């Protein structure tokens, strides 16, 4: 692979995560095309991509399109669609991908890279995303905390020739853009770590309409989140992914401190009347637990309540 910084990047699913990381790359001089919804795309074409930090606001020139065919020249494609849309994204992307492209999943959940790889011939990398961000308006994204990645190759691609050098090139591209992006030899453990953290925060933030900091300060909610972590770690271990429960609990409270003002993506989706990814979070843990004969009552309950809330309100 040539120097990744000299090659086009396409972002499929240019929402908060896609626009933040695509914006960081574009800000560093990487040619970026954002593929997203019409209202968002029109604003970016007209005014550029606006990224808002706590202390500043920048307008970043970037190409934008509503058509997935705009990814045809990209050597790196960042897939940032919601987990339920992964299979359709792979099908729509397949006829437009360069033979020498690499695909990077920047999505919640643990199986999106494998699902993309099942439909694509190109290598697929998985990125574990740690960022607080939300779409603050058409063509604008607000950053609320962190902004780093952990990158690794999917199991199906780990033994492919030159995969390590291609992985390093993508990581280096992000690093040059100011995005910390270490590579992991055990991306499954990294993905499960993020899944467990999401299971602790996302549903509770949505149901309680609460930011992370307030959740962590409430002893009753802390106990609930700890139970979610313990259940999820038990399932991960049955999936042959070794996680340390104490380290995960420490990581959860570290996220609460670092992203104290953040609402979960699940909360944001419900507030906007959009489908959530809860099936790929607490729902996924409950599904895998059932397959292993493990009872996970907290994850099952959180999943069921979010699905009920997602279906709408009876009080109007």
- Considering the domain boundaries, does residue 316 fall inside one? no
- Cβ atoms of 94 and 119 within 8 Å: the answer is yes
- Give the Cβ contact number of residue 316 at 10 Å: 4
Number of domains forming the structure of the chain: 2
Does residue 116 share a domain with residue 44?
yes
- Please provide the average confidence, as pLDDT, over all residues in the chain: 94
Domain containing 163 equals: 4-185
Please confirm, yes or no, whether 82 is among the known catalytic residues. no
Give me the mean pLDDT over the 13-24 stretch. Answer: 97
pTM of the model: 0.89
Per-residue pLDDT tens over the stretch 41-81 = 999 999 999 999 999 999 999 999 999 999 999 999 999 99
Q: Domain check: are 193 and 157 in the same one?
A: no
* Alpha-carbon gap, residue 191 to 121, rounded angstroms: 22
pLDDT digits (tens, 9 = 90+) for 282-292: 999 999 999 99
pLDDT at position 6, please?
41
pLDDT in tens, 209-263: 999 999 999 999 999 999 999 999 999 999 999 999 999 999 999 999 988 988 9
- Place 4 in a pLDDT band, splitting at 50, 70 and 90: very low
Are 176 and 32 in a shared domain?
A: yes
Cα separation, 289 vs 210, in Å, equals 27
Give the end of a domain, one of 119, 150, 185.
185
Domain match, 170 and 192 both: no
First-to-last C-alpha distance (Å) of the chain = 56
Q: Does residue 9 sit in the same domain as residue 147? A: yes
Q: Considering all CA atoms of the chain, what is the largest pairwise distance in Å, rounded to the nearest integer?
A: 58
For residues 173 and 221, the answer to whether their CB atoms sit within 8 Å is no
Quick check: 302 pLDDT over 80?
Answer: yes
| 315 is a domain residue | no
Catalytic residue among 82, 194, 274, 307: 194
The tokens for 236 are: 């991960």
Q: Which residues contact 232 (CB under 8 A, 6 or more apart)?
A: 195, 196, 199, 200, 285, 296, 299
pLDDT at 160: 81
Does 316 score more than 70 pLDDT?
no
Percent of the chain beyond pLDDT 70? Answer: 97
Write out pLDDT tens, residues 149-176: 999 997 777 788 889 999 999 999 999 9
Q: What is the mean pLDDT of residues 27-31?
A: 97
DSSP 76-145: EEEE-S-GGGHHHHHHHHGGG--TT-EEEE--SSSSHHHHHHHH-SS-EEEEEEEEEEEEEETTEEEEEE
Judge if 225 and 287 occupy the same domain.
Answer: yes
Same domain (yes/no): 198, 134: no
Residues 173 and 29 grouped into a single domain = yes
Residue 7 banded pLDDT, cuts 50, 70, 90: low
Q: Please give the structure tokens belonging to residue 289.
A: 């637990």
């Amino acid at each position: 692979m040539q120097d990744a910084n000299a090659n086009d990047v396409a972002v499929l699913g240019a929402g908060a995560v896609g626009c933040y990381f695509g914006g960081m790359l574009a800000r560093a001089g990487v040619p970026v095309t954002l593929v997203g919804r019409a209202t968002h795309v029109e604003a970016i074409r007209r005014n550029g991509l606006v990224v808002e930090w706590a202390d500043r606001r920048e307008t970043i020139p970037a190409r934008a399109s509503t058509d997935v065919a705009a990814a045809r020249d990209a050597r790196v494609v960042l897939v940032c669609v919601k987990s339920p849309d992964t299979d359709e994204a792979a099908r729509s992307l397949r006829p437009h991908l360069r033979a020498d492209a690499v695909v990077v999943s920047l999505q919640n959940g643990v199986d999106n890279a494998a699902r993309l790889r099942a439909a694509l011939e190109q290598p697929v990398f998985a990125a574990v995303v740690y960022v607080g961000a939300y779409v603050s308006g058409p063509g604008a994204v607000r950053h609320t905390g962190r902004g780093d990645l952990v990158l690794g190759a999917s199991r199906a691609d780990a033994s492919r020739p030159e995969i390590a050098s291609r992985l390093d090139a993508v990581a280096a591209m992000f690093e040059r853009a100011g995005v910390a992006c270490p590579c992991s030899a055990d991306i499954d453990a990294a993905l499960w770590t993020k899944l467990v953290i999401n299971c602790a925060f996302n549903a509770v933030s949505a149901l309680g309409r609460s930011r992370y900091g307030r959740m962590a300060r409430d002893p009753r909610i802390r106990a609930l989140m700890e139970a979610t972590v313990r259940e999820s770690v038990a399932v991960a271990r049955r999936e042959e992914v070794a996680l340390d429960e104490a380290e995960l609990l420490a990581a959860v409270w570290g996220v609460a401190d670092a992203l104290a003002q953040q609402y979960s993506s699940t909360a944001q989706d419900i507030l906007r009347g959009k489908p959530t990814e809860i099936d790929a979070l607490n729902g996924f843990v409950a599904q895998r637990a059932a397959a292993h004969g493990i009872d996970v009552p907290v994850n099952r309950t959180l999943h069921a309540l979010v699905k009920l809330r997602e279906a709408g309100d009876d009080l109007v």
